[in-house]
Amino acid sequence: MLERLYLDNAATSFPKAPGVYEAMVRYGQDIGASPGRGAYAEAKQGASVLAEGRRLIARLINAPGPDRIVFTLNTSDALNLAIKGVVFHRLRSDPDSRIHVVTTAMDHNSVLRPLNALASLLPGLFRWTRVPVDAMGRVDPGDIQGAITPETALVSVVHASNATGVLQPVADIGAICQKARVPLLVDAAQSLGHVPVDVRAMGIDLLAFPGHKGLLGPLGTGGLFLGPDMDERLDPLREGGTGSRSESDTQPIDMPDKYEPGSHNTVGIAGLNVGVRALLERGLDNIRVHERALIERFVAGMAEIEGVRIVGPSDADQRVAVFGLVFDGLDPHQAAERLERDHGLLTRAGLHCAPGAHESMGTASMGGTVRVSFGLFTTHGDVERTLAGIARVAQVCAVSR
C-alpha cells in the first residue's frame, strides 16, 4: 500500500512531539482531577500542569509573566475574545462611541467573521477597514498607519498567512501601533512554533495562538497572551465558576481567572506542555533554520517543474513553510485528490478559510489552491517525495490537455 505523507501541518501538526499523548494518558489515568476545584494532592497537581503551561508559553514568547497567558479552545476562540473583548469594553465605557478596527487583506475568517458579526450587531457604531497587500501578499506598514483613525480600537494582523505562508512585518506594525496608542492583535496561528516571536520586542499587545499547530500540542488547545494592562481594556466573553473567590457571584477580575470560567482542558494542556518543552529545548532559531532549509529546497524544486507554480514569495525570509500551489488547467480539488490517490500525499484544496487572501492573490476565481504545509518533523526526504508527486501530477495533467 502507498505510504501516506501528512502535508497539512497548517491545519494541525502531525505527528506531535514525542511524549505528548503519553502525558495526556498519564494525566487522565493517574491524576484526573479538575484544577482549582479541590485541596487534595491530585487537584494541586492539575493546577501545577496549568501553571507550568503558562510558564513555558510565557518563556517562548517573552511575555512579562505567566499569568498573562489565558488558555482557550483554539486560535479562533482567542481571536473572538480579543476582538469582541476590546469592542465590548469600549461600548461598556461609552455606549455611543464609534468603534473602528483595522485588519489586512490576508486575514483569516477567524478574524473576519467576528468583525462582520460585530458590524451587524452594532450598525452605525462599528466598522472595520481591510488594508490591501502587494503582489506578494505583504502589507505596507504605512498603509496600516494611514488606516488608523481616532476611533480605531484595535489593529489585527495575521503574522503568517495560512493561504500563502507570507510573513507580515509585525515589528514595524507594532511600532506604529505603539506610537498611535492602539493595541495590536496578532494572529499567530501559522507562526508560533515556526518563527521566533517576542511579544515585547515586536510591540504585540494581544497574541492569539493555537496549541495544536506549531506548539505540537493536541487539538482543542490554544491561548491568548494579553500585554500589561490589556485585561483592563478587554471584557470577558464568558462568565462562570473559576474555583476562586466563590463568595462572589460576579466574575473575578484577577488574571487569568477573569477569562477562564469553567473546567479546563487539563488533559490537553498536559500534552501541550510536552510540545512546548520540546520547542524550547530545540530552540526556535534552530527550528527556523531547519524549516528555512525545507522552504529553500521546495522552492528550488518547484521552479524546475512545469505546469505548476507557488503563490506568494519564494524568499525564505519572507515566508513560513505553508505553500499555495496552482496547477495549470487543473482544479485544486482534483489535484489534491490525485496527489493523495496516486502518491499518498495529504494536502488541502480550496480557499482555506481566507477568501480575502485568495482574492488578493488572484486565486479565488480558480477555486483557490492546493496547500502543502510542512512541519518540524518534515524531512528532506519528505520534501523530495512531495516534489516528485507534484511533478508527476503536473506532467499527467499536461499530457491530457
- Least Å distance, CB 219 to ligand PLP, is 8
Other beta carbons within 10 angstroms of residue 240's beta carbon come to: 10
**Quick check: 221 binds ligand PLP (CB under 6 A)?**
no
**Quick check: 191 binds ligand PLP (CB under 6 A)?**
no
* 141, 222, 312, 324: which one binds ligand PLP (CB under 6 A): 222
Under 8 Å between Cβ of 9 and 194: no
**Quick check: 273 binds ligand PLP (CB under 6 A)?**
no
Nearest to 135 by CA among 166, 160, 111, 112: 166
Nearest to 260 by CA among 51, 11, 20, 45: 51
Q: DSSP assignment of 152-211, as one string? A: EEEEEEESB-TTT-BBP-HHHHHHHHHHHT--EEEE-TTTBTTB---TTTTT-SEEEEES
- Least Å distance, CB 335 to ligand PLP, is 20
Nearest to 327 by CA among 360, 368, 359: 368
> How many residues bind ligand PLP, per CB under 6 A?
14
- Least Å distance, CB 354 to ligand PLP, is 7
Q: Which of residues 94-123 bind ligand PLP (CB under 6 A)?
A: 108, 110
* 54, 168, 187, 302: which one binds ligand PLP (CB under 6 A): 187
**Quick check: 360 binds ligand PLP (CB under 6 A)?**
no
- Least Å distance, CB 8 to ligand PLP, is 10
Residue bearing cell 495575521? 158
* 162, 164, 251, 266: which one binds ligand PLP (CB under 6 A): 162
Question: CB-hemisphere CA count at 13 Å for 383?
Answer: 23
What does the alpha-carbon distance between residue 374 and residue 83 come to, in Å, rounded to a whole number? 29
- Least Å distance, CB 156 to ligand PLP, is 11
Q: Which of residues 25-44 bind ligand PLP (CB under 6 A)?
A: none
Which CB atom, from 162 or from 266, has the smaller least distance to ligand PLP?
Answer: 162
- Least Å distance, CB 23 to ligand PLP, is 20
* 173, 189, 335, 376: which one binds ligand PLP (CB under 6 A): 189
* 129, 152, 190, 266: which one binds ligand PLP (CB under 6 A): 190
**Quick check: 13 binds ligand PLP (CB under 6 A)?**
no
**Quick check: 372 binds ligand PLP (CB under 6 A)?**
no
* 7, 13, 49, 74: which one binds ligand PLP (CB under 6 A): 74
* 83, 101, 112, 158: which one binds ligand PLP (CB under 6 A): 158
The backbone torsions φ and ψ at residue 221, rounded to the nearest 5 degrees and listed phi first, read -125, 150
- Least Å distance, CB 108 to ligand PLP, is 4
**Quick check: 378 binds ligand PLP (CB under 6 A)?**
no
Q: Which of residues 320-349 bind ligand PLP (CB under 6 A)?
A: none
**Quick check: 165 binds ligand PLP (CB under 6 A)?**
no
The backbone torsions φ and ψ at residue 353, rounded to the nearest 5 degrees and listed phi first, read 60, 25
Which spans of this chain sit near ligand PLP (rule: CB under 6 A)? 10-11, 74-76, 108, 110, 158, 162, 187, 189-190, 210, 222
